[in-house]
Chains A and B, each alone.
Chain A
Amino acid sequence: MVELNLSRRQFLKLSGATAATLAIVELGFDDKRAYAKTKEFKIAKTTVTPTICCYCGVGCGILVHTKKNEVVYTEGDPDNPINEGKLCSKGTTLRQLYTSEKRLTKPLYRAPGSSKWEEKDWGWMLDTIAKRTKDTRDASFVEVENGITVNKTEKIASLGGAALDNEETYLLAKLMRGLGITYLEHQARI
């Protein structure tokens, strides 16, 4: 038999040490609790702005979540009667319109016959477009064809897109007809 000759103090010390050892070795600390709730919910503190998807004619509603001027998330707008929170694969990527590195932020100009794009400012762009449109129209304008008044140009065409809304399409058609353009085409028909 092992005989322990313990004083009261020693006995207490030993009991305490045993308890502490047990607690550390076998039971451990609850590290799960320490890990929990360390990650903040992604859209917890975002500003939510409703918008309309720009990709097709359906016009789904999208909620844009922004934080400090950065788009952190986009999702279908559940209150929109058109899509009721649903989105297609393309509409779901809407956030990349803003965040993508491939996004164009300056107008690019490619001269006729050139293979290079050059950066130009908006003023130059708009002036050039207006000037060339007028030049082309003046040079190619047909007033009378086969004895019938036509007032048209066949050297310019217009291509609309599904992303245009009702009012934009109206204005576009109005302007093009005013210029005498007969080739009014739409992206969705091609």
Chain B
Amino acid sequence: MAEFVKYIDVTKCDGCRACMVACKNWNDLPAEHTDFLGSVQSHTKTTADTWNVLQYIEHENSKGGLEYLFRHSSCFHCTDAACQKVCPESAISYTDFGSVVIDQDKCVGCGYCVQNCPFEVISLKEYKDKNGETYRKSHKCTMCTDRLEEGLQPACVTTCHTGAMEFGKKDEMIRKAEKRVSEIRGRFPNTMVYNPPGVGGTHTVYVLAERPSVYGLPENPKVPTSAVVWKDYAQPIGKMMLGATTMAVVAGFVSNKLFNKGGHGHGEEGGEDYE
């Protein structure tokens, strides 16, 4: 299947926040109490109940003029996702569309993904079970994978009235992004396509008006080395050892049962017979 990406041209965004509301509407996410942050922005960052947040940035450009920049911020759906790497329960996986999703049934709420996400888009939510015990689950944007499976577009893309967001085939969208960058370079000299190679490229591709750091984004995000060591080396070896040990125990038990029927009584004594 062709890879699909969400393409966001921040220079077309008018900051109406319909994407935020559409996300809550589709995913049935509750409202949150927010405080005045000194700007129009409602939430400081994405939370477990707010999977995308519209950033409002007042930026002084190189000519000393004010740029009022907007950015729809949500999960990037990295090709090499740090969250997927660090998840000890394998609860995070890639879909055929390239989106990265969390299996809520498998999530144990350890928070490794929250700590390792280079874009800080995953958050934990606390729940209470019927015994009053608290447990946690991590949440983030799913790229509306349930909608994609039914042939629909993500809710935020569907509602965007300025055409700042589009969803389509990866190469097509990247071509579009590059064309747009060449068009607006006169107006925004620092404009660029943000599709960081450090995480293998992302499935949310931006046309940014300024450098990524202006938007609080890492210039060159990477999957943490500790995550690679943990997932690609430590965990397989650990699993192998665990498997071997378990096998030895089970095999020992089974053969003991099978071959001790002769009425020798205790296992220890029976064992000697075979040596």
Q: Are B18 and A89 in contact (CB under 8 A)?
A: yes
* Residues in chain A near residue B133, CB distance under 8 A: none
Q: Are A92 and B275 in contact (CB under 8 A)?
A: no
Q: Are B161 and A14 in contact (CB under 8 A)?
A: no
Q: With A10-B258, A85-B158, A87-B161 given, is the CB distance from A22 to B247 under 8 Å?
A: yes
Q: Are A87 and B26 in contact (CB under 8 A)?
A: no
Query: Smallest distance from the beta carbon of B95 to chain A beta carbons, Å?
Result: 11
Q: Does A26 contact B (CB under 8 A)?
A: yes
Q: Does A114 contact B (CB under 8 A)?
A: no
* Residues in chain B near residue A87, CB distance under 8 A: 18, 22, 159, 161
Q: Are B17 and A73 in contact (CB under 8 A)?
A: no
Which of B56-64, B174-182, B248-256 contacts its partner?
B248-256
Query: Smallest distance from the beta carbon of A138 to chain B beta carbons, Å?
Result: 48
Q: Are A93 and B146 in contact (CB under 8 A)?
A: no
A92 to B16, CA, bound (A): 11
Q: Are A41 and B150 in contact (CB under 8 A)?
A: yes
Q: Does B172 contact A (CB under 8 A)?
A: no
Q: With A22-B247, A86-B159 given, is the CB distance from A42 to B146 under 8 Å?
A: yes
- Interface readout for A68-93 with B: 1 if CB under 8 Å, 0 if not? 00000111100000010111110111
Q: Does A117 contact B (CB under 8 A)?
A: no
Q: Are A73 and B25 in contact (CB under 8 A)?
A: yes
- The interface size bin for chain B is 20 to 34
Q: Does B267 contact A (CB under 8 A)?
A: no
Q: Does A149 contact B (CB under 8 A)?
A: no
* Residues in chain B near residue A24, CB distance under 8 A: 250
Contacting B247 at CB < 8 Å: which of A5, A10, A21?
A: A21
Q: Are B105 and A92 in contact (CB under 8 A)?
A: no
Q: How many chain A residues have a CB neighbour from B under 8 Å?
A: 32
Most buried by B among A83, A86, A91: A86
Q: Are B258 and A92 in contact (CB under 8 A)?
A: no
A91 to B17, CA, bound (A): 11
Q: Are A25 and B105 in contact (CB under 8 A)?
A: no
A39 to B142, CA, bound (A): 15
Q: Does A2 contact B (CB under 8 A)?
A: yes
Contacting B103 at CB < 8 Å: which of A5, A26, A35?
A: A35
A41 to B145, CA, bound (A): 11
* Residues in chain A near residue B22, CB distance under 8 A: 75, 87, 92
* Residues in chain A near residue B259, CB distance under 8 A: 10
Q: Does A175 contact B (CB under 8 A)?
A: no
Contacting A92 at CB < 8 Å: which of B25, B250, B251?
A: B25
Q: Are B146 and A92 in contact (CB under 8 A)?
A: no
Majority secondary structure of chain B interface residues (helix, strand, loop or mixed): helix
Most buried by B among A13, A83, A89: A89
Q: Are A25 and B250 in contact (CB under 8 A)?
A: yes
Q: With A2-B274, A22-B247, A92-B25 given, is the CB distance from A14 to B158 under 8 Å?
A: no
- Interface readout for A105-139 with B: 1 if CB under 8 Å, 0 if not? 00000000000000000000000000000000000
Q: With A2-B274, A25-B247, A74-B25 given, is the CB distance from A88 to B161 under 8 Å?
A: yes
Q: With A76-B158, A83-B161, A85-B158 given, is the CB distance from A21 to B105 under 8 Å?
A: no
A39 to B145, CA, bound (A): 12
Q: Which B-chain residue is minimally distant from A83 (CB atoms)?
A: B161
Q: Does A4 contact B (CB under 8 A)?
A: yes
Q: Does A17 contact B (CB under 8 A)?
A: yes
A4 to B160, CA, bound (A): 74
Q: Does B102 contact A (CB under 8 A)?
A: no
A88 to B105, CA, bound (A): 34
Q: Does B200 contact A (CB under 8 A)?
A: no
Q: Are B21 and A21 in contact (CB under 8 A)?
A: no
A39 to B258, CA, bound (A): 44
Can you sample 18 A-B contacts with CB below 8 Å? Answer: A2-B274, A4-B274, A13-B258, A14-B258, A17-B251, A17-B258, A21-B251, A26-B243, A42-B26, A75-B22, A87-B18, A88-B16, A88-B18, A89-B16, A89-B17, A89-B21, A91-B18, A92-B21
Which of A's residues lie within 8 Å of B, judged by CB? 2-5, 10, 13-14, 17-18, 21-22, 24-26, 35, 39, 41-42, 73-76, 83, 85-89, 91-93, 95
